[in-house]
Amino acid sequence: MTEFFISLGMNADWAWFVATICGILLIALPLMLGVAMIIYMDRKVWAAINLRRGPNVVGPFGLLQSFADGLKVFLQETIIPSAANKGLFIIAPILTFTVALLSWAVIPFGPEAVLADINVGLLYIFAVSSLGVYGVVISGWASNSKYPFFSAMRASAQMISYEVSIGFIIVCVVLWAGTFNLNEIVLAQENHFWIINGFFFNPLLFPIMVMFFISALAETQRVPFDLTEAESELVAGYQTEYSSMSFALFWLGEYANILLMCALTSILFFGGWLPPLNIDLIPWFDIPGIVWLLLKILFFFFCFSWVMATVPRYRYDQLMRLGWKVFLPLSLFFVFAVSGYLMLTRWG
């Protein structure tokens, strides 16, 4: 894209700057539209599982319901509690939303369709996504209310606990692929098992994929791990005192994070933008890579919604036990198993 703006007569520095801004908008704007659509999809899946109709009034098939909700919160008054720390109270939702968008800079939508194709893309995502806890903790503390504060403490413990397991799971994938670059991890899955593109058929990496998916549920505070927003205990958790667009920013950040985890599951274990099978007889090689990635993201988001509509909420002690006593030892075991297998077969 930089070369295109240079051909229009811009100097190299301005061409790079304008190309970068255009790249950011090409990711951020469709992502916001996608968040609106998956909120609609989320509600439709819940309704179907509960034998209801879901949103069906605003627009054709209810497709404009999310936009109507967005307009409603935009027109509402922003209320800041008198005892709150006003500066931090306002910054918290902005921080949550911004951090949720930053990780998408290194997500590859195709062989060269990535904003920043850096060699440490996976480390970048792990570092940036771990900052999301600060928005939750700051909002809970700045609200100066006991329920948001309890929720913030729960969130910090929960997100840190499952980031440990996710870190070891990522180590296993990096060991097998031999790189931190997300594009190269996708390419390493080509024809991994006969004609199948993806690590999920690997008997050593399949259990890791299941652990990653469950850890992603906990990391994004989705059912059955939504202890930070448990309505029967904490009203609305760290969002209790928020209204208007500040409340909407939390929702946008939460769903952007969910989409990010779905994208990571697709890229790390299901071949990312590659087609599921390498068969020349089927004309799906003409389908752009971004379409395959979006279809895989939608499938995993459906799984997120399916779990939310069917699985009861865990107790907090069960959540902590699963993270520290089950996933941590298992992920450590698989780090040794994968590295040992690779030493024997690839380098031994």
Q: Residue 151 corresponds to which amino acid?
A: S
pLDDT tens-place string over residues 100-123: 889 899 999 988 888 888 899 899
Residue 308 domain boundaries: 76-345
Query: Do residues 121 and 188 lie in contact, with contact meaning Cβ atoms separated by under 8 Å?
Result: no
Residues sharing a CB contact under 8 Å with residue 33, sequence separation 6 or more, in sequence order: none
- Quick check: is 87 in a domain? yes
Other Cβ atoms closer than 10 A to 25 = 10
The secondary structure of 154-199 as a DSSP string is: HHHHHHHHHHHHHHHHHHHHHHHHT-S-HHHHHHHTTTSBTTB-SS
Number of domains in the chain: 1
Residues sharing a CB contact under 8 Å with residue 136, sequence separation 6 or more, in sequence order: 92, 96, 151, 152, 155, 156, 159, 228, 238
Q: CB burial class (10 A; 0-12, 13-18, 19+) of residue 177?
A: buried
Give the per-residue pLDDT at 223.
80
pLDDT at 344 over 60: yes
**Left, alpha or beta for 78 (phi > 0: left; psi -120 to 50: alpha)?**
beta
- Quick check: is 29 in a domain? no
Indicate the Cα dihedral angle 246, 250, 255, 259, nearest 10°.
110
The rounded mean pLDDT for the chain is 86
pLDDT at 139 over 80: yes
pLDDT at 249 over 70: yes
What is the percent of the chain with per-residue pLDDT over 70, rounded to a whole number?
95
Which token pair is 80?
A: 């800041």
Which token pair is 128?
A: 């940036």
- Quick check: is 244 in a domain? yes
Residue 203, preceding peptide bond in cis (omega within 30° of 0): no
- Quick check: is 106 in a domain? yes
Quick one: average pLDDT of 233-254? 80
β-sheet bridge partners, residue 193: 196
- Quick check: is 3 in a domain? no
- Quick check: is 33 in a domain? no
Give the per-residue pLDDT at 157.
86
Half-sphere exposure of 306 toward its Cβ, with a 13 Å CA cutoff?
7
- Quick check: is 121 in a domain? yes
Quick one: average pLDDT of 146-155? 83
